[in-house]
């Protein structure tokens, strides 16, 4: 005999606030089955603490699998929002149940999906359930936004290095010491994989009690939380996928809690992580200091290191055009390794001379970045306003003269904003150059050392690209 499935779901918040308990739902469903004289063995499927926003719930998955195997005769729920709050998911599910001739009923909303009227009622109720879910999400987001911007309360789980005490992030000193070691290892040129192996050899576990992975190390080292900042509104979920919003939509709270590392160290850490990626598999190869940095200007492709040893025993170290060597494109040209690397190092060691003016500037760089972001956001709003005026003119809602006045006003505002952005960007450039000179100063001893591994790590943090033309002309672009 086929079974009757009673599906019950409750989230933790609902159980606490509304008293909508699992036992109450089950009692109601059993009473409904008795009143409707539904025949069959009853089996209860319970998802405790799961949101209706996702269909990935263990009990629901198990119930649908049994339905597909034709082990169920009927699925009964208390209300549609117990099952799902997405109209598309609801209709898809009902269609699947219809195809396998499995009934579907709601104890709280009387409808029969076998009739056109019943399906219409189902769709209306599903639309309202989806609307309610959207409104709840908006209210929660607004409340969290208010908490984040007006208080220093923690609204998320703590990352490794912190605990939450009285709703605030508090440093866990034992974990924080590990975080500082991880930062130092990566600043010294180690990658996430090597750091992961160090941690696992030490027996260090994550907050969840699991072993560190390369991914978890990378995420932690990029997390602003360890520098005392909190970022809200960065990510969101769409149809089960985690996505990232544009950076200008993020809400960054400075000095939100006590930092494990200072902001300057965090910035250098991000540069070290980003710079290491350009070296690829040769990141730890000491023979070539500029791996992933040198480019041929003729074809735009990278130049890589090539070693040759003549019968006489003389050794040659060159950077050669990869396009010529691998594709027979471009043309054969190369540059001596020591000449190129020493030229770049000498250029960096004299950074304070070609950039002396920047030392006289006192600039609040974070504030400048915020100003630029706000100005660019205002530009986008002007674009929207202009588009509205165009649409009104096309729909004959305003006449030609009104459109011209509005256009001239918006263009004038745009010009003022663009002038402000240019002015602020100029100050930003000066501030970045000053910060770069300071970074070079911190790395001068490393650049002068004989340890090629340390030199390579320093170079990739300071140099973005080295462009070589005709094996003689060298253009260096530093990493500001």
d(CA 128, CA 86): 9
Question: 3 in helix, strand or coil?
Answer: strand
Q: Does residue 11 carry a catalytic annotation?
A: yes
d(CA 433, CA 38): 77
d(CA 162, CA 51): 27
d(CA 452, CA 461): 14
Place of tokens 């505002």: 413
Listed as own residue / partner, the contacts of 138-147 with beta carbons closer than 8 Å and 24 or more positions apart are 144/232, 145/232, 145/233, 145/251
Parallel, antiparallel or unpaired: strands 230-232 and 251-253: antiparallel
H or E, element range at 125: helix 116-150
- DSSP helix, strand, coil percent of the chain (3-state; round to 5): 55, 20, 30
d(CA 327, CA 296): 14
Residues whose CB is less than 8 angstroms from the CB of residue 160 and which lie 6 or more positions away in sequence, other chains included: 175, 178, 179, 206, 207, 220
Cβ atoms within 10 A of the Cβ of 382, count? Answer: 15
d(CA 231, CA 249): 10
Residues whose CB is less than 8 angstroms from the CB of residue 361 and which lie 6 or more positions away in sequence, other chains included: 427, 430, 431, 434
> Which residue in 259, 108, 256, 115 sits closest to 180, CA to CA?
259
When computed from its CA atoms, the radius of gyration of the chain, rounded to whole angstroms, is: 31
What does 74-121 look like in DSSP terms, one character per residue?
A: EEEES-HHHH-S-HHHHHHHHHHHHHTT-EEEESSS---TTSHHHHHH
d(CA 377, CA 369): 12
d(CA 14, CA 30): 21
Instruction: Tell me the backbone φ, ψ of residue 286, rounded to 5 degrees.
Output: -75, -15
Parallel, antiparallel or unpaired: strands 473-478 and 103-106: unpaired
Residues designated as active site: 11
């Amino acid at each position: 005999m086929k079974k009757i499935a009673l599906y019950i779901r409750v989230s933790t918040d609902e159980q606490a606030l509304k008293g909508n308990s699992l036992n109450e739902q089950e009692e109601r469903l059993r009473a409904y089955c008795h009143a409707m004289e539904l025949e069959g063995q009853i089996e209860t499927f319970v998802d405790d603490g799961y949101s209706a926003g996702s269909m990935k719930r263990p009990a629901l998955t198990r119930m649908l699998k049994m339905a597909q195997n034709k082990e169920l005769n009927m699925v009964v729920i208390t209300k549609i929002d117990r099952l799902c709050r997405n109209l598309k998911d609801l209709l898809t599910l009902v269609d699947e149940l219809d195809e396998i001739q499995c009934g579907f009923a709601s104890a709280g909303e009387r409808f029969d999906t076998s009739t056109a009227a019943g399906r219409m009622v189902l769709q209306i109720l599903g639309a309202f359930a989806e609307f309610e879910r959207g409104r709840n999400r908006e209210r929660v987001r607004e409340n969290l936004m208010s908490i984040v911007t007006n208080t220093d309360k923690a609204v998320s789980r703590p990352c490794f290095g912190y605990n939450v005490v009285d709703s605030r992030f508090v440093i866990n000193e034992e974990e924080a010491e590990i975080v500082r070691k991880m930062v130092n290892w990566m600043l010294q040129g180690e990658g996430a994989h090597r750091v992961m192996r160090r941690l696992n050899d030490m027996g260090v576990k994550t907050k969840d009690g699991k072993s560190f992975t390369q991914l978890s190390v990378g995420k932690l080292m990029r997390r602003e939380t360890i520098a005392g900042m909190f970022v809200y509104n960065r990510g969101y979920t769409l149809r089960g996928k985690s996505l990232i919003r544009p950076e200008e939509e993020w809400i960054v709270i400075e000095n939100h809690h006590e930092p494990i590392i200072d902001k300057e160290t965090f910035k250098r850490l991000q540069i070290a992580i980003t710079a290491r990626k350009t070296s690829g598999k040769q990141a730890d190869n000491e023979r070539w200091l500029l791996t992933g940095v040198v480019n041929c200007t003729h074809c735009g492709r990278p130049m890589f290191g090539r070693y040759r040893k003549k019968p006489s025993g003389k050794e040659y170290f060159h950077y050669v055009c990869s396009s010529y060597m691998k594709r027979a494109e471009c043309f054969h040209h190369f540059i001596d390794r020591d000449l190129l690397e020493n030229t770049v190092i000498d250029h960096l060691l004299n950074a304070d001379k070609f950039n002396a003016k920047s030392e006289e500037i006192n600039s609040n760089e974070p504030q400048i970045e915020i100003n630029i972001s706000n100005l660019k956001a205002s530009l986008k709003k002007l674009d929207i306003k202009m588009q509205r005026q165009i649409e009104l003119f096309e729909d004959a809602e305003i006449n030609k003269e009104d459109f011209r006045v509005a256009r001239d006003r918006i263009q004038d505002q745009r010009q003022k904003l663009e002038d402000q952005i240019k002015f602020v960007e100029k100050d930003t450039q000066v501030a970045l150059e000053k910060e770069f000179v300071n970074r070079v100063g911190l790395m001068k001893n490393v650049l002068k050392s004989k340890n090629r591994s340390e030199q390579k790590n320093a170079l990739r943090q300071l140099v973005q690209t080295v462009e070589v033309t005709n094996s003689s002309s060298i253009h260096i672009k530093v990493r500001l």
